[in-house]
Amino acid sequence: MDGPLEQSPARGRLEGYLKALKELNIPKNDDLIKVGSWKSESGKAFIEELFRGPIKPDAVFIANMELTLGSMVAIKEMNLKIPEDLAVLSFSGTGYYWAAITDPPLTTIDFPIDEIGKKAIEILLKKIMTKKRKKNQKYKKFTIKTHLTVRGSTLKKNKLKGAV
């Protein structure tokens, strides 16, 4: 599930998802890719739509925490269990502490908001200091590393006694 593709964060997250599918030799299925707003209502609607379709997913990647919130509401309303019925992975900015206290705790791909803010200020100050505006100036692209925090929303319990 993703936000509006005219926004670069949504495009980048979708590109990352598609790259992961390719690397794992999983065929892309457009029916399983949902794009809309960044709002929780979209997340709820996306889950409901997915489970009305012919293919019931066993995992979802959700591109932001608002979408995740709505998705989790729909999952609960549909009496589905996380991760037994549906594993949930969300893209998150650092600072969404509630992800660690959901039941089960939410697996997230975290990005460093502070580092992004510092880089934005650095770029802005550099522009202000140079005061020169070049015609046809190309945008610079910066990549900031993310971190996967694995929690219970993606861990399926093994049938072996005591194993997780």
Residue range 141-162: mean pLDDT, rounded: 73
Q: How confident is the model at residue 20 (pLDDT cuts 50, 70, 90)?
A: confident
Residue range 127-149: mean pLDDT, rounded: 75
Predicted confidence (pLDDT) at residue 158 exceeds the cutoff of 50? no
pLDDT value at residue 116:
82
* CATH architecture assigned to 8-112+146-154: 3-Layer(aba) Sandwich (3.40)
d(CA 13, CA 64): 10
Predicted confidence (pLDDT) at residue 32 exceeds the cutoff of 60? yes
Residue range 117-144: mean pLDDT, rounded: 76
> Which of these, 121, 72, 122, 116, lies nearest to 93 by C-alpha position?
116
CA distances from 158 to 61, 161, 164 (A): 22, 8, 5
Q: What are 74-107's pLDDT values in tens digits?
A: 999 999 999 999 999 998 766 677 888 888 999 9
Dihedral angle computed from the Cα positions of residues 48, 88, 43 and 75, in that order, rounded to the nearest 10 degrees: 40
Residue range 142-161: mean pLDDT, rounded: 75
Exposure string (b/e) for 8-20, b if CB count within 10 Å is 16 or more? eebeebbeebeee
Its pTM stands at 0.75
Exposure string (b/e) for 24-49, b if CB count within 10 Å is 16 or more? eeeeeeeeeebebebebebbbbbbee
> Which of these, 117, 116, 121, 104, lies nearest to 146 by C-alpha position?
116
Domain ranges within the chain, ordered by starting residue: 8-112+146-154
Percent of the chain at pLDDT exceeding 90: 26
